[in-house]
Amino acid sequence: MRAAMKPSWSPASASSTNGSKRKNKRKWHGMDILALQQQVAIYRDENAYKRLFLHFYKGLIRFADTYVRQHEVAEEIVSDVMLKIWTMQEALTGIRNLKVYLFKAVRNGAINHLLRNRHYTTWDIDQLAPEAFVSAGTPEDETIHRELKHRFAEAVSQLPPKCQMVYKLIRENSFTYREVAAILDISENTVDRHLSIAMQRLGAVLQTYRHTSR
């Protein structure tokens, strides 16, 4: 059917347009996403599709990177999942929590890729680094910020795989325990256990940094 064809807006432009998105960043609510879903599903609104794509793009890329550890592959997986959102047409209105649906679909896509290609590569550590831990004001503050960011990113990359995924979903993507449990197909108690392990290890890194930097 013609309505299910690819949108004229190309997901390949996401990297270049995503930078401008940050300048007007605001907190989205479930009703915002639901309204965009309906515009895409019923009216085939390409602008609404673009807004959904750019809203979820970065978080999905980072999550896919956790599995495949290859940025280009992560981009391909995310683009395929988002294209499916467009081709679903009116079935898209039946998804009650689009964010959980997308992350679970990306997880499945990443796992399928790993099953087909049993090899790993190193991914850019900056993808795992938190946005900020200290206020960067003076040159000295900026130096401290870069060093702490680097140490923290190293610590995150060394977490056990499931701990790292849980940490990123909750701390970086603001999922609830229940949503993470649904995405990873584990219990909420297991989510809590993985997050506790992650926070203990990362807390130890920050504590060590405070002592050594005095």
pLDDT band at 153 (very low <50, low <70, confident <90, very high): confident
Q: How many CB atoms lie within 10 A of CB 83?
A: 15
Say if domain 2-116 classifies as CATH 1.10.1740: yes
Q: Which residue has the higher pLDDT, 91 or 141?
A: 91
Write the class of the CATH domain 125-212. mainly alpha
pLDDT at 28: 58
pLDDT at 48: 92
Mean pLDDT along residues 139-164? 74
Mean pLDDT along residues 102-127? 67
Give the whole-angstrom CA distance, residue 27 versus residue 208. Answer: 34
pLDDT at 143: 61
Q: Which of 79, 39, 38, 40 is nearest to 56 (CA)?
A: 79
33-80 pLDDT, tens digit each: 889 999 999 998 999 999 999 999 999 998 888 888 889 999 999 999
Q: 88 is written with which tokens?
A: 């679903």
Does residue 211 surpass a pLDDT of 60? no
pLDDT at 30: 58
Q: Which of 37, 40, 51 is nearest to 95 (CA)?
A: 37
Give the whole-angstrom CA distance, residue 214 versus residue 207. Answer: 11
161-193 pLDDT, tens digit each: 889 889 888 887 888 999 999 999 999 999 999
Give the whole-angstrom CA distance, residue 214 versus residue 198. Answer: 25
Query: To the nearest whole percent, how much of the chain has pLDDT over 90?
Result: 31
Q: Which residue has the higher pLDDT, 64 or 23?
A: 64
DSSP SS3 for 84: helix
Domain with CATH 1.10.10.10 in the chain: 125-212
Domain with CATH 1.10.1740 in the chain: 2-116
pLDDT at 15: 52
